[in-house]
């Protein structure tokens, strides 16, 4: 081993030897050293070492004092951090051409997170000793490298500041929306009770033992005594102990991609699908499916079975997802105060039919912390937010004609009740002849 071997003590990590010329070629293939002259890249390679990590090999340990910078040549790593309860939370996935650990060359502070190899990974390492030697032998190169590190830190800080600003803006919008709904519920509408909810759903056709996928707007019901929990309890009363209530608890966003895959803790990550789904998710008896963008939460007799295999689904809403499993169980879909425009099951149709516009082309290697605190890898093709505008309500006249949908009132809410498998079969029939049928680019209605 070289005198400044830094990772040889880590289990699953070993130094591998390449000539200086090959290490220089590895550096030159990365964007990190764009703008460096070849002679400087060759010189820099002399101060670096090459390491290979097996899957699970630990490259950095949180709170450990070590001073080396890592550049990924091939493979990928997970950046993880422990929380107050010593649970591991994934923060990011890094791939070829990215660096980590560079700040330790400057501040010598303990590591803020751990880094673990997701697969066999090849890395170039610059240790503190190597950098110090560079500062003596090639001071101009050392200054150039520090300048590049400073540029990288500045770029990351701007990105973090932008993300924080967007997050605070979303939180503020949610608070203002919630306050408006509370005000609207107080000043208008009929007082709606748990019994009225249960009776209204029964009259609409919801029966004991049913499986129900609920899309909802709380404010649409009018003035609800007890808020979201009253709606949940009323629907569960209509379903009885033999039934199952499922709600979408979505967390995905348009900025996700294979380069920025989703990593979430399902125990603490809220959904953006409304106050009723969020209230149900927080109940101790709720089961939440393991998915980083399109999870569901469920309560009832079949909750475990319907949620069970979501992590194995190669697409967000495919055949192993709760959206299809609820339909397979003879389930119904309810839209309370909203239209088919929010119908997640229509995405199931798009995924089964493999329409050309719906999914990003490459797999994103996301992950979840499930309800039991387990870290679960969830590779999945993410939704694409480009392409045509969805027009799912185009199905409504056909569903009514085929007696697959009925419309009624519960409180002040207009409620649509649809046979789930009937919707899937009807939509597949249409999409078979026109892949864009569920969008504004369809050939005909």
Does residue 375 sit in the same domain as residue 318? yes
Does residue 372 sit in the same domain as residue 275? yes
Q: What is the CATH number of the domain that holds 116?
A: 2.60.120.10
pLDDT, position 4: 39
pLDDT, position 173: 58
Does residue 140 sit in the same domain as residue 212? no
Does residue 151 sit in the same domain as residue 216? no
Does residue 364 sit in the same domain as residue 319? yes
pLDDT tens track for 42-97: 888 899 899 998 888 888 888 777 778 888 988 888 888 765 545 566 777 888 88
Does residue 23 sit in the same domain as residue 102? yes
4 domain-assigned: no
Residue 42, token pair as written in the block: 């060759």
Instruction: Reply yes or no on whether the pLDDT at 227 is more than 60.
Output: yes
170 domain-assigned: no
pLDDT, position 87: 57
pLDDT, position 160: 47
> How many domains are there within the chain?
2
Domain span at residue 105? 13-156
Does residue 235 sit in the same domain as residue 321? yes
440 domain-assigned: no
Segment of 14-23, 133-142, 411-420 carrying the highest mean pLDDT: 411-420
Instruction: Reply yes or no on whether the pLDDT at 242 is more than 70.
Output: yes
In terms of pLDDT, which residue wins out, 288 or 113?
288
Counting other chains too, the contacts that 349-352 makes at CB distance below 8 Å and 24 or more residues apart are 349/423, 349/424, 349/427, 349/428, 349/431, 349/438, 350/317, 350/431, 350/438, 351/315, 351/316, 351/317, 351/318, 352/318, 352/319, 352/324, 352/424, 352/428
Does residue 134 sit in the same domain as residue 192? no
* End position of a domain, from candidates 156, 171, 204: 156
pLDDT, position 185: 47
pLDDT, position 381: 95
Mean pLDDT of 350-376: 94
- Average pLDDT, whole number, for the chain? 86
pLDDT, position 149: 77
111 domain-assigned: yes
Does residue 79 sit in the same domain as residue 207? no
pLDDT, position 383: 95
425 domain-assigned: yes
* End position of a domain, from candidates 156, 174, 205: 156
Does residue 112 sit in the same domain as residue 207? no
Does residue 206 sit in the same domain as residue 343? yes
Least confident range from 51-55, 184-188, 258-262, 380-384: namely 184-188
Helix (H) or strand (E) holding 350: helix 345-353
pLDDT tens track for 395-428: 999 999 999 999 999 999 999 999 999 999 999 9
Mean pLDDT of 231-252: 97
pLDDT, position 172: 56
Task: Count the Cβ atoms, other than its own, within 10 Å of residue 92.
Answer: 16
Least confident range from 7-16, 38-47, 72-81, 204-213: namely 7-16
């Amino acid at each position: 081993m070289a005198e400044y071997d830094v990772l040889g003590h880590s289990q699953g990590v070993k130094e591998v030897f390449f000539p200086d010329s090959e290490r220089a070629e590895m550096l030159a293939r990365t964007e990190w050293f764009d703008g460096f002259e070849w002679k400087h890249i060759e010189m820099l390679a002399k101060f670096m070492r090459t390491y290979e990590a097996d899957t699970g090999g630990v490259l950095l340990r949180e709170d450990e004092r070590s001073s080396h910078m890592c550049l990924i040549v091939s493979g990928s790593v997970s950046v993880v951090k422990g929380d107050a309860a010593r649970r591991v939370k994934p923060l990011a996935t890094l791939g070829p051409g990215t660096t980590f650990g560079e700040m330790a060359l400057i501040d010598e502070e303990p590591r803020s997170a751990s880094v673990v190899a997701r697969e066999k990974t090849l890395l170039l390492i610059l240790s503190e000793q190597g950098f110090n030697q560079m500062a003596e032998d090639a001071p101009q190169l050392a200054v150039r490298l520090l300048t590049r590190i400073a540029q990288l830190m500045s770029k990351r800080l701007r990105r973090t500041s932008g993300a924080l600003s967007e997050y605070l803006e979303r939180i503020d919008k949610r608070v203002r929306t919630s306050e408006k709904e509370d005000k609207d519920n107080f000043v208008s509408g009929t007082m709606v009770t748990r019994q009225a909810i249960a009776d209204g759903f029964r009259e609409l056709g919801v029966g004991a033992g049913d499986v129900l996928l609920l899309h909802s707007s709380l404010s649409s019901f009018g003035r609800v005594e007890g808020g979201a929990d009253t709606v949940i309890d009323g629907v569960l009363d209509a379903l009885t102990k033999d039934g199952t209530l499922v709600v979408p608890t979505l967390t995905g966003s348009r900025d996700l991609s294979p380069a920025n895959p989703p990593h979430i803790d399902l125990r603490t990550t809220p959904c953006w699908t409304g106050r009723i789904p969020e209230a149900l998710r927080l109940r101790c008896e709720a089961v939440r499916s393991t998915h980083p963008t399109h999870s569901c939460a469920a309560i009832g007799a079949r909750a475990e079975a319907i949620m069970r295999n979501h992590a194995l689904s190669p697409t967000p809403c495919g055949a192993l997802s709760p959206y299809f499993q609820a339909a397979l169980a003879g389930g119904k879909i309810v839209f309370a105060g909203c239209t088919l425009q929010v119908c997640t099951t229509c995405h199931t149709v798009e995924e089964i039919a493999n329409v050309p516009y719906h999914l990003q082309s490459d797999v994103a290697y996301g992950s979840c912390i499930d309800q039991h605190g387990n870290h679960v890898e969830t590779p999945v093709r993410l939704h694409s937010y480009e392409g045509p505008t969805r027009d799912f309500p185009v199905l409504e006249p056909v569903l009514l004609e085929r007696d697959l949908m009925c419309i009624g009132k519960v409180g002040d809410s207009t409620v649509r009740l649809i046979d789930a498998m009937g919707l899937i079969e009807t939509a597949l029939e249409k999409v078979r002849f026109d892949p864009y049928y569920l969008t504004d680019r369809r050939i005909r209605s």
